[in-house]
Amino acid sequence: MSINEVVIRAAASGKLVSFGFTDHALLVKSTDPKLSLEVPHRQVLSAAFAEGNRSLKVSYLAKKKKGCHSLVNYEGEVQDAESQAVVEWVEKVMDAAYEGLGIKRARKLKVLVNPHGGRRKAPIVFTKTVEPILRTAGCVLDVHYTTHGGHAYDIAKELPLEYDAVVTVSGDGLVHEVINGFAHHAKPLLAFKTPIAPIPTGSGNGLALNLLGIEDGLDVAAAALNIVKSQSMKVDIFSITQGGKRTFSFMSQALGLMAELDVGTDHLRWMGEARFTYGLIRGILQFKPCPIQLSVKIAEHDKSRMAEALQEKQRRDDRSVVSAPLPDETSEEESALPSSSISMDDTDGWTTIEEPLLYVYAGKGPYVARDFMAFPVSLPNDGLIDVVAQPASSRGEIFKEMPGAAKGEPYWNVNLKYMKAHAYRVKPLSSKGCLAVDGEVFPFEEFQVEVHPGLATLLSPHGFYAAEFDVRRASKTSANSKPMNEH
Ligand SMILES: Nc1ncnc2c1ncn2[C@@H]1O[C@H](COP(=O)(O)OP(=O)(O)OP(=O)(O)O)[C@@H](O)[C@H]1O
């Protein structure tokens, strides 16, 4: 006879706890201490019954008052139910928690922990919080602690194509290494089908914020749940060609003020993300123009239209999610990396911006840090890169924009040029300057960036970026950039 509810006497407290089941949640109730909780199936990690001693163990993630998730385990002897009925109940719960959500149980994961990232807490965060969640969910872990810069690149380059995901316990720098390792893999296209999922223990953690949103973006337990329960999302990545050398970038390229506030504050890693605010204020006070010529192959520069496209995409819930956990074998031809499709001397459809600029910031994914939504209308796989160019107007104007930066409000500043582009190129006009790619220092030399649509794969709970951008402001303001001083 099938049952809908199982009652146990919890071994830890000696109290009775009941577990009910609905289409969308597990119901957890006890009278002492008083508890009544609906746990969505997505948050249920495991249910297991040992027939020998009639012990039932149920584990899930609960959101605490402080806002973070934490692992909850209940274990105890089943009261008044036939063992066979409990076995069936457990299978019903597990089915709803995994197959019912389109998720494979017991994912096989390659985990890369960077002891050097951010405030150097990655090893403790991994062993104390993340590993127990992954193991409770039955994941099979293959864990490496990176010992030097470039270690994650080497591991990704040689990665056997048998993992359901690569987990980076670090900041965005390790993701950059994994992406470039995949690009140099013997079968790069297949390697790129392995999803990457971050556990935010770096300084900026832009990728985790984009996938999980502002509320959960820095919650390492929520990031662990993303690894257990999310589906794949295809994302565009970029290649940056500089002096004949090609590097891949997944998040951003920064020049001028935006580069200096990042790589120029590397020695202040101990400050956590506050180092970016310090770098920004210092940069605004110095107000050094960025000595470059910027040329862009523009796809769109109307801010209202870009905001509408974002709204439309999210309203349709047009998921870029594909349920493709493991790469399959494809032909040799398909395994080659896309070659550069735009030559360095192509001039067709390019616009050159002549105004003096304070910074250029280009990339994908709304957040670059918790307090800076740099690319609010970015979409994961529109095949375009968002390019922002800030004219060297006045210190006051930039300071005025600071409070709204976490919500992407500088987007609406008429002086700020915001373009969606197929490609762009930069020519330095001086030997002194600063270029940062995904937060790493690059030579300040001529380069070109192009987009590779949907090449990489991430794990995402939503299938689109989780940032909330107030697109309604489009109707209240004169939304477009000022006419470009261009040729
Ligand atoms: N054991 C190690 N010792 C020194 N450096 C390491 C080690 N392992 C990895 N690295 C390097 O640490 C750098 C910083 O890592 P990462 O960028 O992920 O963290 P972060 O910079 O603190 O965070 P964010 O990029 O979000 O600001 C990477 O460039 C990586 O190459």
pLDDT of residue 321: 46
61 inside domain: yes
Residues 273 and 418 reside in one and the same domain = yes
Looking at residue 152, which CATH number applies to its domain? 3.40.50.10330
pLDDT of residue 115: 96
334 inside domain: no
Residues 409 and 313 reside in one and the same domain = yes
Residues 355 and 418 reside in one and the same domain = yes
Distance from Cα 127 to the centre of ligand 1, integer Å: 19
> If DSSP states are collapsed to H, E and C, what string results for the chain?
CCCCCEEEEECCCCCEEEEEECCCEEEEEECCCCEEEEEEHHHEEEEEEECCCCEEEEEEEEECCCCCEEEEEEEEEEECCCHHHHHHHHHHHHHHHCHHHCCCCCCEEEEEECCCCCCCCHHHHHHHHHHHHHHHCCCEEEEEECCCCCHHHHHHHCCCCCCCEEEEEECHHHHHHHHHHHHCCCCHHHHCCCCEEEEECCCCCHHHHHHHHHHHCCCHHHHHHHHHHCEEEEEEEEEEEECCEEEEECCEEEEEHHHHHHHCCHHHHHHCCHHHHHHHHHHHHHCCCECEEEEEEEEECCHHHHHHHHHHHHHHCCCCEECCCCCCCCCCHHHCCCCCCCCCCCCCCEEEECCCEEEEEEECCCEEECCEECCCCCCCCCCCEEEEEEECCCHHHHHHHHHHHHHCHHHHCCCCEEEEEEEEEEEECCCCCCEEECCEEECCCCEEEEEEEEEEEEEECCCCCCCCCCCCHHHHCCCCCCCCCEC
Residue 356 CB–ligand 1 contact under 6 Å: no
pLDDT of residue 230: 98
Distance from Cα 370 to the centre of ligand 1, integer Å: 18
333 inside domain: no
Range of the domain at 278: 237-327+348-453+464-476
Ligand 1 atom showing the smallest separation from residue 439 Cα = 25
Residues 207 and 316 reside in one and the same domain = no
pLDDT of residue 331: 58
Distance from Cα 97 to the centre of ligand 1, integer Å: 34
Looking at residue 36, which CATH number applies to its domain? 2.30.29.30
Residues 126 and 78 reside in one and the same domain = no
Looking at residue 381, which CATH number applies to its domain? 2.60.200.40
pLDDT tens-digit series, residues 127-172: 999 999 999 999 999 999 999 999 999 999 999 999 999 999 999 9
Residues 400 and 295 reside in one and the same domain = yes
Domain boundary residue, one of 229, 262, 296: 229
pLDDT of residue 474: 54
For the chain, the domain total comes to 3
Residue 439 CB–ligand 1 contact under 6 Å: yes
Distance from Cα 177 to the centre of ligand 1, integer Å: 9
Mutate to test the pocket of ligand 1, among 111, 112, 119, 146 (most ligand atoms within 8 A of CB): 146
Residues 97 and 153 reside in one and the same domain = no
304 inside domain: yes
Distance from Cα 306 to the centre of ligand 1, integer Å: 34
Residue 147 CB–ligand 1 contact under 6 Å: yes
pLDDT of residue 344: 79
pLDDT tens-digit series, residues 44-59: 999 999 999 999 999 9
Domain boundary residue, one of 82, 101, 120: 101
- pTM, full prediction: 0.92
Residue 118 CB–ligand 1 contact under 6 Å: yes
Residues 139 and 205 reside in one and the same domain = yes
CB 246 within 8 A of CB 340: yes
Residues 173 and 214 reside in one and the same domain = yes
Domain boundary residue, one of 202, 229, 256: 229
Low-confidence ranges of the chain (pLDDT < 70): 1, 269, 272-273, 315-334, 473-487
| 199, two tokens | 């556990």
458 inside domain: no
Ligand 1 atom showing the smallest separation from residue 262 Cα = 27
Residues 162 and 75 reside in one and the same domain = no
Residues 397 and 251 reside in one and the same domain = yes
Residue 416 CB–ligand 1 contact under 6 Å: no
